[in-house]
Structure 1
Amino acid sequence: MSQGIEFNRLMLDMRAMQMDAMSASKSTAAVPQLAGSSFADMLGQAVNKVNETQQASSQLSTAFEIGKSGVDLTDVMIAKEKAGVSFQAITQVRNKLVQAYQDIMQMPV
């Protein structure tokens, strides 16, 4: 639970820094916008994909447990491993983001 709170705090701080940077850039030369999705959008999509993978794994596991035909144990195990690996990957991304944020906040001004 505290990890979710830390992530929310991180996102709020990043948005505040973004607003400060945007107000400072208005007084200086205009910065061209890069085409494509923002980092927050890409991160959100990755989290959603991990969630979908975990839900699919859970549904496949439930189908196997109730004895639904066409569901093999190997498929269930592969889905569980994919969900586990994707969750570990997104956790590492989160850890790196928090560490980068902490490093930036500890920099002398």
Structure 2
Amino acid sequence: MNDLGINRVLTEMRALQARSKLPAQEVAPTAPTAPAQESKESGFVNAMADAVRDLNTKQAESGKAQEAFQLGRMDLATTMLKMQESSVAFRAAVEVRNRAVSAYQDIMNMPL
């Protein structure tokens, strides 16, 4: 992957990170019912679920845009833009998955 591709992936990851922080700040504080470790875990799980939902939405929009272009309802530039957004989001998700697997393998290979 060249520098331009890496910068796009990093930009997308930063955007996902920024979006994942917004809902946590808007929620009113409530009485803790679970240990702090579980709340951190659920925050990560929620962030990942939101990222996957966003990826799915972008891919669905890309498919709809392709179909609309084929039917003559959408212009080529908009269709290509939706396809590229979907592609960049997918590559970012794959990169995050690869990094997570690599981190897991590093941890599992650590001597006790």
TM-score of the two chains, using structure 2 as the length reference: 0.63
Q: CA deviation at 1:44?
A: 1.4
- Note the alpha carbon deviations across 1:62-102, whole angstroms, 9 max, x for none: 0110122xx11100000000000000001000000000000
Count of residue pairs brought into register by the alignment: 77
Residue equivalent to 1:38: 43
Instruction: Could you tell me which runs of 5 or more consecutive residues in structure 2 were left unpaired when the two chains were aligned.
Output: 1-34
Larger radius of gyration: 1
Question: How many percent identity over aligned positions?
Answer: 38
Q: Supply the distance in 1 between the matched residues of 2:106 and 2:90 (Cα, whole angstroms).
A: 24
Q: Supply the distance in 2 between the matched residues of 1:99 and 1:40 (Cα, whole angstroms).
A: 18
Match of 2:105 among 81, 98, 102: 102
Question: What SS is found at the alignment partner of 2:51?
Answer: helix
Does residue 72 of structure 1 match 2:82? Answer: no
Q: Supply the distance in 2 between the matched residues of 1:84 and 1:66 (Cα, whole angstroms).
A: 22
Instruction: Could you tell me which runs of 5 or more consecutive residues in structure 1 were left unpaired when the two chains were aligned.
Output: 1-31
TM-score of the two chains, using structure 1 as the length reference: 0.64
Give 4+ residue runs of structure 1 displaced > 6 Å after superposition. Answer: none
Indicate the RMSD between aligned Cα atoms, in angstroms.
Answer: 1.9
Q: Which amino acid aligns with 2:59?
A: Q
Residue equivalent to 1:62: 67
Higher relative contact order, chain-length normalized (CA < 8 Å, sep 6+) = 2
